[in-house]
Structure 1
Amino acid sequence: MGTNVESSSQEDDRTWRQQVYEIVFEADTPAGVLFDVLLLAAIFLSVMVVMLESVESLRLQYGPLLVGAEWFFTVLFTVEYGVRIACARRPLRYIFSFYGIVDLLAILPTYLIALPISSIAETQRLTTIRALRLLRAFRIFKLAHMLSEANALRSAIWAARAKVAVFLSFVVISVVIVGSAMHLIEGGRLDESGQATPSGFDSIPESMYWAVVTMTTVGYGDVSPTTALGKALAACMMLLGYCMIIVPTGIVSAEFAQAAKRTVSARVCENCMAEGHERDARYCKYCGTML
Structure 2
Amino acid sequence: MTLRKRLYLTLEPTEKGGIIERIFEFCLVTIIILNILAIIADSVEEVRSKYDVLFIKFEYFTIIFFTVEYIARIYSIVENPEFSHPVKGRLKYITQPLAIIDLLAFLPFYFVFLDLRFLRIFRLMSLFRLFKIARYLHALKIFKRVLADRKEQLILSFLFILFVLTIISFIMFYTEHEAQPDKFSSIPATMWWGIATITTVGYGDMVPITALGKFLGGLFAIAGVGLLALPAGILSSGFFESLHKDAVVKKCPHCGKDIHE
TM bucket by the smaller chain? 0.7 to 0.9
The root-mean-square deviation of aligned C-alpha atoms, in Å, is 2.5
CA shift for structure 1 position 183: 0.7
Equivalent in 167, 184, 204 of residue 201 of structure 1: 184
Q: 1:75 maps to which residue? A: 64
Q: 1:166 & 1:51 partners in 2: Cα distance?
A: 39
Equivalent in 192, 199, 214 of residue 197 of structure 2: 214
**Equivalent residue letter for 1:164:** L
Q: Deviations over 1:163-214 (max 9, x none)?
A: 221111011101111000101111122xxxxxxx535212101111100010
Structure 1 residue 244 corresponds to structure 2 residue 218: no
Q: 2:128 maps to which residue? A: 144
CA shift for structure 1 position 262: 5.1
Q: 1:216 & 1:101 partners in 2: Cα distance?
A: 34
SS in 2 for 1:88: helix
Output aligned runs, 1:266-277, within 5 Å: none
Question: Which consecutive residues of structure 1, in runs of 5 or more, have no partner in the other structure?
Answer: 1-11, 118-127, 190-196, 264-277, 284-291
- Say whether the 8 Å CA contact 1:27–1:33 is kept in structure 2: no
Q: 1:91 maps to which residue? A: 90
Moved more, 44-53 or 158-167: 158-167
Equivalent in 135, 140, 159 of residue 119 of structure 2: 135
SS in 2 for 1:75: helix
Q: 1:243 & 1:282 partners in 2: Cα distance?
A: 40
- Say whether the 8 Å CA contact 2:42–2:48 is kept in structure 1: yes
CA shift for structure 1 position 33: 4.6
**Equivalent residue letter for 2:62:** F
Structure 1 residue 281 corresponds to structure 2 residue 258: no
Work out which of the two has the higher radius of gyration on C-alpha atoms and give 1 or 2.
1
CA shift for structure 1 position 67: 0.9
Q: 1:17 & 1:257 partners in 2: Cα distance?
A: 44
CA shift for structure 1 position 18: 3.8
Equivalenced residues, count: 234
Q: 2:13 maps to which residue? A: 26
Structure 1 vs Structure 2: percent identity of aligned residues? 31
**TM-score of the two chains, using structure 1 as the length reference:** 0.72
Choose between structure 1 and 2 for higher RCO, CA contacts under 8 A separated by at least 6 residues: 1
Q: Deviations over 1:15-50 (max 9, x none)?
A: x44443333223452434544333222211111111
Q: 1:238 & 1:34 partners in 2: Cα distance?
A: 52
Output aligned runs, 1:53-202, within 5 Å: 53-89=42-78, 90-113=89-112, 117=113, 128-129=114-115, 132-147=116-131, 148=137, 149-189=139-179, 198-202=181-185
